[in-house]
Amino acid sequence: MTITSEFRHPSLDEIHRANMLDSLAHRLEVARAANNTQLIALLEQEQKELLAEAPLSTLLKRVQAWWQRLKNDIAQASQLQVTQEKDETGYTWWHAYDPNSGREVYTDSESELVMWIEQHYQGH
């Protein structure tokens, strides 16, 4: 039994179009976050024009890439978040937050932070 697989390198046009769509998607996110309706309308029109030109295979790849980014963002959002912070006097604090349980801790020592993580975050 022979298994064959076709692999086609994307053309420069496809790469360029994909890069433009990525940039456009980012600009749309920023415009939406800023609630800039005028810019959103312009960018959506540009997106509509670009997508109308895109072959189906390129569109499918874009949707797959978007879906993968979304899955990565969701996975990252549920991970333990640890930060080191300084207050206005320059004193260093550690902060850990578990978005799955809602538990968090502030401590001034790294060893206390490690102990808290070991006690409250085992098995995640």
pLDDT given at position 54: 60
Instruction: Compare 109 and 6 and report the one with higher pLDDT.
Output: 109
Q: pLDDT at residue 3 above 80?
A: no
Q: pLDDT at residue 116 above 50?
A: yes
Distance CA 42, CA 39 (A): 5
Beta strand 81-86 pairing with 104-107:
unpaired
Helix axes 12-33, 37-53, angle to 10 degrees: 160
State the Cα torsion 34-38-44-48 to the nearest 10°. Answer: -170
Taking only the tens place, the pLDDT of each residue in 45-102 is: 888 888 776 666 677 788 888 889 888 888 888 888 899 988 889 889 999 988 888 8
pLDDT given at position 5: 47
Q: Model pTM greater than 0.95?
A: no
Question: Tokens 């874009």, residue?
Answer: 62
